[in-house]
């Protein structure tokens, strides 16, 4: 059963009033892929006319994570205690973005982590699209979450565990 639907099958915000306040955390990942003809030198600090790409993407991702409730319907406003974004070169032409979020609250922070990672990836795209529009955001995924009803670890799920 979907949690954001009421008994009349209408959209609704989930009532978290009776939930326990617990420490919640989530990590999400995004991958940006540059086509071979547009791959900057691995490890190169990307800088465009708009400024330093990775630094700008980190700021944008944190700002977005903090504003998730303004962007995604029915997300509760959550005072984040921590949000960090790392951006690194991976395999040739791949940029790996990871957003880690933490709060002590009645509801999870998965959407905040996903929004932070996605926005950082979109910022990399936006700042580098002058090179080519062939840049792709190939994956945005939840890596893990803790707190609440149950924990989640993507690697465990992929292996068939809980």
Q: Are 95 and 124 in contact (CB under 8 A)?
A: yes
Q: Report yes or no on 130 lying in a domain.
A: yes
Task: Determine which of 8-12, 97-101, 123-127, 130-134 has the lowest per-residue pLDDT on average.
Answer: 8-12
Q: Report yes or no on 27 lying in a domain.
A: yes
Q: Report yes or no on 161 lying in a domain.
A: no
Q: Are 31 and 90 in contact (CB under 8 A)?
A: yes
| Alpha-carbon separation of residue 101 from 64, 107, 137, 142 (angstroms) | 12, 13, 21, 12
Which residues are known to be catalytic?
126
The CATH number linked to 97 is 3.30.70.640
Residue 60 domain boundaries: 22-147
Task: Output the six-digit token pair for 56.
Answer: 């700008």
Q: Report yes or no on 3 lying in a domain.
A: no
Q: Report yes or no on 66 lying in a domain.
A: yes
CA–CA separation, 148 vs 130, rounded Å?
43
Q: What is the pLDDT of residues 107-147, one digit of tens each?
A: 989 999 999 999 999 999 999 998 889 999 999 999 999 99
Q: Give the total number of structural domains in the chain.
A: 1
Q: Any idea what DSSP says for residue 57?
A: H
Q: Report yes or no on 6 lying in a domain.
A: no
Q: Report yes or no on 158 lying in a domain.
A: no
Q: Are 85 and 118 in contact (CB under 8 A)?
A: no
Task: Output the six-digit token pair for 55.
Answer: 């630094």
pLDDT of residue 46: 81
């Amino acid at each position: 059963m979907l949690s954001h639907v009421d008994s009349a099958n209408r959209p609704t915000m989930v009532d978290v009033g009776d939930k326990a306040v617990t420490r919640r955390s989530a990590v999400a990942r995004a991958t940006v892929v540059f086509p071979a003809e547009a791959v900057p030198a691995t490890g190169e600090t990307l800088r465009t006319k708009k400024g330093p790409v990775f630094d700008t993407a980190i700021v944008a991702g944190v700002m977005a994570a903090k504003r998730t409730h303004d962007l995604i319907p029915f997300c509760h406003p959550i005072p984040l205690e921590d949000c960090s974004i790392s951006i690194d070169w991976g395999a040739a032409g791949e940029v790996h973005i990871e957003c880690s979020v933490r709060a002590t609250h009645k509801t999870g922070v998965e959407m905040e982590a996903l929004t932070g990672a996605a926005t950082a990836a979109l910022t990399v795209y936006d700042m580098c699209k002058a090179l080519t529009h062939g840049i792709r955001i190939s994956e945005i995924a939840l890596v893990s979450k803790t707190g609440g009803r149950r924990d989640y670890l993507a690697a465990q799920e992929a292996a068939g565990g809980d």
